[in-house]
Copies of this chain bind each other. A is one copy, B any other.
Amino acid sequence: MTDLKHISLFQNASKEFFDSCARLAHPHSFPKGKILFIHNDPAEYFYVINKGWVKLFCETLDGTQSTIDILSIGQIFGEDSMFEDNLYHYSAEIVEHADLIQIPISILRQEIENNSKMALSMLEFVSRQRRQKEKEIEHRVIQNAPQRIGCFLLRLIKNNTPQGQTVTIHLPYDKTLIASRLGMQPETFSRALSKLKQHTGIRIKGAMVELDDLRQLIDYSCIACSSERSCKSSKEC
């Protein structure tokens, strides 16, 4: 359970919070494909990801899905039901074998109510996510498919990577999933990626993407973005 201490959201959590977690939180492993909960299920727990990937999504009656987010190590989900009517407002599916910690939402709720520093951390956290969603809408309006992929790649690169140096990016999950994350069809993703290749000189081998110069990718993708800094260094994107 020491893992929780490394989650930035919990930097200001109290000893009592961690103690409660030690008593009431459960680590769990889940295989790929497992549905953790679905839209409108009553929400008792939120989850912390220690390993693997989790997809959050909604779907309509006719089965059409829209991917809300795909999360990984250090990220949390399900906590937002606290502010709604204690129902999950999305479905969650394991897309890469995952280790999760299941924690009663009530513990978090209590901590937020009693520990004002924690409440502030939570506010920062939610506010940042709100902004990211706004950015995402902007991107879908302004950027075309290849640019959205370029932006996605840039966000995968660590902030301290210097320019003018060969960089290798490992796509974190299936291309089909990336496509859904970016709001496009798999076919479109495939075609858009090769268009991106033509425009920026990136090299693609399976799930590996290599590029010699960040500059070109930034120039191509971030023209269509209002952020001052590129998506690589901006916390917004």
Using a CB–CB distance below 8 Å, which chain A residues touch chain B? 39-40, 58-62, 64, 66, 68, 80, 82-84, 89-90, 112-114, 116, 119-120, 122-124, 126-131, 133-134, 136-138, 140-142, 183, 223-226, 228, 236
Out of B58, B60, B120, name the residue touching A119 (CB < 8 Å). B120
Q: Is the CB of A138 within 8 A of B62?
A: no
Contact sample, A vs B, 15 pairs, CB 8 Å cutoff: A40-B228, A59-B226, A66-B137, A66-B142, A68-B137, A80-B130, A84-B131, A90-B134, A112-B119, A112-B120, A112-B123, A114-B116, A126-B130, A130-B130, A140-B140
- A62 — which chain B residues lie within 8 A by C-beta? 223
* Number of identical monomers bound together in the oligomeric complex: 2
| Beyond known contacts A64-B142, A137-B137: 12 more, CB 8 A cutoff | A39-B228, A59-B226, A68-B134, A80-B127, A82-B127, A84-B127, A89-B236, A90-B134, A112-B120, A122-B123, A123-B123, A130-B133
- A126 — which chain B residues lie within 8 A by C-beta? 123, 126-127, 130
- A131 — which chain B residues lie within 8 A by C-beta? 80, 84, 89
Q: Which residue of B lies closest to A114 (CB)?
A: B116
Out of B89, B113, B116, B138, name the residue touching A113 (CB < 8 Å). B116
- A83 — which chain B residues lie within 8 A by C-beta? 123-124, 127-128
Q: Is the CB of A140 within 8 A of B142?
A: no
Q: Which residue of B lies closest to A90 (CB)?
A: B134
- Give the shortest distance, in Å, between A183 (CB) and chain B (any CB): 5
- Give the shortest distance, in Å, between A144 (CB) and chain B (any CB): 12
Q: A134-B68, A228-B40 are in contact. Are A223 and B141 (CB under 8 A)?
A: no
